[in-house]
């Protein structure tokens, strides 16, 4: 028989786990209701949608500075979109035409146009920064100039991650095609295809992590940020499959909106993604509060570290 002390110890450990889980979900539900992430998600989706085209142009321009051919970055952007955006009516044709057009128009961007694109993109990061500060319950946010400086840093991080992913996928494919033998080529291509399934989720996870790490004015524990980023990444991919099923049963959308069907569904998808990202942020804050190092709020201690 198991000693009584071991049984009591396991029961206490189980009770502590249940108590911690209960506290986590209470903090999570309380934060969602208090911060009204649905309203914040609408703001985030609007600024994200408006900054998407300038960001794509900056990616193409940044790739050209590193002597990456337009065709390479174009294929990478198409793969990114296909990985993150659900299959929508007329979606692939619409995205292919517009991303190709952006790549061709990149050389015509002047200094004034480049500054305008940069300002629009930074505005999206600043708005996300203010939203995360509200969820983090920051009492003293950064100044105006610091907000745009942090937004510029976040833009640089995102450009670096995207270009690094593009170069990695390109080098992997080039290396595979350079092998001699048909069987070796197919094996290398299969490896590249498998690696791409890991590359794009990893890029999304790192983007969420650095947004949660860099943008807010106060820091949470690193384990909480990793957990929140993982929840956002998994949530986006799971909801992507559900959204495909949803749009598959909405043929009436094309009857109502016609050629605007893709825009309407894409806007809805951007809103859903924004909610999921903010849900991951709320999960990080709730977990941080349970671990005893959360920020101010109901049953929360002060911020771990101010920047």
CA nearest neighbour of 136 among 21, 304, 250: 304
Q: pLDDT tens, 267-306?
A: 888 899 999 999 999 999 999 999 874 444 444 444 444 4
Q: How many residues does this entry show for the chain?
A: 307
219 bridge partner residues: 305
Question: Is 94 strand, coil or helix?
Answer: helix
Each domain of the chain, given as residue ranges in start order, spans: 37-295
Q: pLDDT tens, 160-183?
A: 887 777 666 655 554 444 444 444
Residues 6+ apart with CB under 8 A from 140: 217, 306
Residues 6+ apart with CB under 8 A from 260: none
Which pTM was predicted? 0.79
φ and ψ of 141, to 5 deg: -70, 170
Q: pLDDT tens, 9-53?
A: 566 566 677 877 889 999 999 999 999 999 999 999 988 877 777
Q: What is the mean pLDDT of the chain?
A: 76
């Amino acid at each position: 028989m198991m000693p009584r002390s071991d049984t009591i110890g396991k029961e206490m450990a189980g009770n502590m786990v249940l108590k911690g889980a209960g506290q986590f979900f209470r903090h999570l539900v309380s934060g969602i209701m208090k911060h009204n992430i649905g309203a914040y998600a609408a703001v985030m989706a609007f600024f994200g949608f408006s900054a998407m085209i300038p960001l794509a142009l900056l990616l193409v321009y940044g790739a050209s500075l590193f002597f990456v051919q337009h065709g390479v970055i174009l294929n990478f952007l198409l793969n990114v979109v296909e990985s993150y955006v659900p299959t929508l009516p007329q979606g692939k044709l619409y995205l292919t035409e517009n991303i190709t057009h952006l790549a061709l128009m990149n050389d015509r961007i002047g200094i004034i146009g480049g500054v305008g694109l940069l300002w629009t993109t930074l505005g999206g990061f600043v708005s996300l920064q203010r939203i995360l500060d509200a969820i983090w319950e920051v009492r003293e946010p950064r100044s105006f100039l610091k907000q745009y400086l942090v937004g510029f840093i976040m833009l640089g991080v995102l450009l670096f991650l995207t270009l690094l992913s593009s170069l990695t996928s390109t080098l992997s494919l080039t290396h595979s095609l350079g092998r001699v033998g048909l069987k070796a080529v197919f094996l290398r291509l299969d490896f590249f295809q498998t690696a791409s399934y890991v590359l794009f989720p990893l890029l999304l996870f790192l983007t969420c992590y650095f947004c949660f790490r860099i943008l807010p004015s106060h820091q949470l524990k690193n384990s909480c940020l990793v957990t929140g980023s993982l929840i956002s990444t998994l949530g986006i991919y799971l909801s992507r499959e559900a959204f495909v099923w949803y749009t598959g049963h909405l043929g009436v959308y094309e009857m109502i909106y016609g050629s605007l069907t893709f825009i309407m569904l894409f806007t809805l998808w951007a809103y859903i993604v924004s909610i999921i990202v903010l849900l991951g942020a709320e999960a990080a804050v709730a977990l941080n509060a349970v671990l005893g190092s959360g920020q101010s709020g109901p049953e929360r201690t002060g911020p771990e570290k101010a920047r």
